[in-house]
Amino acid sequence: MSELLTVQEAASKARVCTMTVRRAIKSEVLPSLRFGRAIRIEEEALSHYLRRERNTGKALEVAR
């Protein structure tokens, strides 16, 4: 299992705002784990998502 990132850490790595990450999670295009109110994203899932979005040319656009 890869490292778990907070929404803030994932946004920082992707160089986007936290709201963009939250939208991607809400629209279920970025997998996440919930522990009560805490949201965590596997680093591997974030990397996979960013590669997929880069290949389609719609980076984070689907999440809106």
20-53 confidence digits (pLDDT tens) = 999 999 999 999 999 999 999 999 999 999 998 8
Name residue, tokens 């295009």. 29
Cβ–Cβ under 8 Å, residues 43 and 6: no
Residue 64 covered by a domain: no
CATH number at residue 10: 1.10.1660
The predicted pLDDT at position 61 comes to 53
The DSSP 8-state label assigned to residue 29 in this structure reads S
Residue 61 covered by a domain: no
- pTM of the prediction? 0.81
Residue 62 covered by a domain: no
Residue 43 covered by a domain: yes
Q: Which of 5, 1, 27 is nearest to 14 (CA)?
A: 5
The total number of structural domains in the chain stands at 1
2-17 confidence digits (pLDDT tens) = 899 999 999 999 999 9
pLDDT reading at 19 higher than 90:
yes
Structural domain span for residue 45 = 4-56
Cβ partners under 8 Å of residue 62, min gap 6: 24, 27, 29, 53
